[in-house]
Amino acid sequence: MNSDSDVPIYAQLIRERGDVPGDVRREAEQIQRNLERVIMPFRPNLPAPGYFR
């Protein structure tokens, strides 16, 4: 039995096409970090940005 028959199909696909799910996950994490910097979490003691009395 050769080593190729022991390797799951996804390992072969990653070798052939690259780690697409991993690339997408890393890109999504980067987008999330960027959004967290732009859209600050709600702070109950502060007025919303742009709010004027």
Residue 15 tokens, joined? 């070798």
Tell me what pLDDT residue 1 has. 44
pLDDT digits (tens, 9 = 90+) for 2-47: 555 556 888 888 899 999 989 999 999 999 999 888 886 665 666 6
Tell me what pLDDT residue 42 has. 62
Residue 47 and residue 53: Cα distance in Å, rounded? Answer: 10
Please indicate, yes or no, whether the overall pTM of this predicted structure exceeds 0.85: no
Range 28-52 burial, b when 16+ CB lie within 10 A, else e: eeeeeeeeeeeeeeeeeeeeeeeee
Q: For residue 1, count other CB atoms closer than 10 A to its CB.
A: 5
Residue 49's contacts (CB-CB under 8 Å, 6 or more residues apart) are: 40
